[in-house]
Amino acid sequence: MVIGGTTFLLDEQAGAAGGGGNLSFVGSMPHLAAEGGWVTTFTLVNKGSAAAQSSLDLVDDNGNLLALPLVFPQTNTSATTAEINQTINPNASFVTQATGPASTNYVVGSAQLYATATGLNGVDGFAIFHYNPSNQEAVVPMETRNAPSYLLAFDNTNGVLTGVAVANIASSSAAIPITIRNDAGAIVANGSIPSSLNLTPPESSLNANGHTSFVLSQAFPQTANIRGTIELDTPPGGQISALGIRYTPPGTTTTIPALAQVTAAGGAMAHLAVNGGWQTTFVLVNTGTSAASATLNFYGDNGAPLPLPLTFPQGAIASQSASTLTETIAPNASLWIQSTGSAAAALVTGSAQLSTNGNVGGFVIFRYNTNGQEAVVPLESRNAPAYVIAYDNTSGTATGIAINNASAQPVNVPATLRDGNGNTVATGSIALNGNGHTSFVLATEFPQTAGILGTVEFDAPAGATISVLGIRSPPALTFTTLPALAK
């Protein structure tokens, strides 16, 4: 599919794939793209203290195993296969790239991970798809939840387009119910996937392990030039995964996290950036059936309340400068809040914390207006004992880290840095004030990570809550975020 002169990594087709043998299912990555200029890099991390066997299965739209040319950068080897079986040492990471000739048509699908170890001390990971002609890339988090539904917030205004990828990871075919609402929570379209996509020939269901993807405003014209949400419901007895893809002029891409099983726990957003060309957009979604109050508190690096210039693109709230914002969000509605500041002013960074009395979730989009690049900061609500960021500082790529303390007391956050084999290369700690924040280039803070790939683990101090974000910046500066793997 071509959008704005760029080949967009979405197909218009939907069909039974390989399994993981005696291994346990870990999760699904609902989109991959290879060949025709596309490269998808898969990063797997063994968070446990014992070696684990893993199997990564690549699957096409019809649910069949998809053999692709693969490169293994850690060993400088290659192969063509649809099943990648690998023993991963304790605390080690494993990287493989699905590539292929640029002269052929691109292929799309999804991936499923199986392993002998799952959960907080098991095998985890993510994918990054990259389009070589423009060097645009975005992350595909691994979906490990089996939720009743998944919600994607979209914004199709001002030339922005939204793509959607859906994978049926059940062992039988299924139609995926879809409900689309505007930002006030009113239903504007519904149906099922793939029946609502007007495919030729028509298809009423996704095959077992099948995949489909589409541009939202093309499949559902009612969503053109509006904001809202897409709800994808899991069929009875089934399991799905979903991903949103945000395409912004002048041709940049980022992914939209799928909200699921949202509670009143709130959470932290590990990074925001305002002024100096930077813009941060906060997206809050009430996934519940009752109105809910939501409060955002903004904090500077030193932990002090941080007043931000706030505008409201939906137009119902007056612009203001505030370090705290409280709004009531209607059922199934979404609230978009933008902070830009002055391009001539010095960059200001910090973090945000969300509290709510309802089922409100969300995320942050930070954008560098100078080149239009964007990346997403998920809302961290897991309160895990530790978080792991997989980094790759090879081939001119740099890794940034943002970390915030969502607790009132000052803390020292222990950090353990490992290479790709799981060997410890450095240790240290990050000092943060109460509600404090910091961000840094990993290889500058820890020079032992320069020129290698591996992982960095941040442990939550006793009684404290932290959130962590990785930022991947290739030489072309087409940055994307790296998910924090809970441990």
| Boundaries of every domain in the chain | 2-140, 149-256, 267-378, 386-486
Contacts for 107 with CB less than 8 Å, ≥ 6 apart = 33, 34, 35, 36, 60, 66, 68, 100
Residue with tokens 């030193």, as numbered in its chain: 302
- CA–CA separation, 269 and 246 (whole Å): 19
CATH number for the segment(s) 149-256: 2.60.40
* Domain at 386-486, CATH class: mainly beta
The CATH T-level fold of domain 267-378 is Hypothetical Protein Tm1070; Chain: A (2.60.290)
- Sign for the CA dihedral angle at 267, 270, 273, 279 comes to negative
Block mean pLDDT (10 aa), the chain, length 487: 35 39 92 97 97 97 97 96 96 96 94 95 97 94 97 97 97 97 98 92 93 97 98 97 95 95 96 97 98 98 98 95 98 98 94 98 96 95 97 97 97 98 98 98 98 98 97 93 97
Sort strands 176-182 and 187-193 into parallel, antiparallel or unpaired: antiparallel
The predicted structure's pLDDT at residue 120: 92
pLDDT value of residue 13: 32
pLDDT at 344: 93
Q: Do domains 149-256 and 267-378 have the same CATH topology?
A: no
In this prediction, residue 250 carries a pLDDT of: 84
pLDDT of residue 21: 60
pLDDT value of position 482: 97
CB-CB contact of 262 with 354 (8 Å): no
* Predicted TM-score (pTM) of this structure: 0.94
